[in-house]
Amino acid sequence: NPQLLMYGPVFTVGQSRSCNLYLKDSSVSSVLCRLKFVQ
């Protein structure tokens, strides 16, 4: 399984190319989720 470092205060996942983790899947919304680092 490949690993991806999460960086910045918010990490986005979705179909939009502006997301940190781009999913090339038409069934996924443009921004599926936002992960926020909380300490």
Whole-model pTM: value is 0.80
Which pLDDT score is estimated for 18? 96
For 1-39, what is each residue's pLDDT tens digit? 789 888 889 999 999 999 999 999 999 999 999 999 888
**pLDDT given at position 12:** 97
Give residue 26's pLDDT: 94
* Radius of gyration of the chain, Cα coordinates, nearest whole angstrom: 11
Query: Rounded CA gap, 13 and 34, in Å?
Result: 6
Buried b (16+ CB within 10 A) or exposed e, 14-35: bbeeebbeeeeeeebeeeeeee
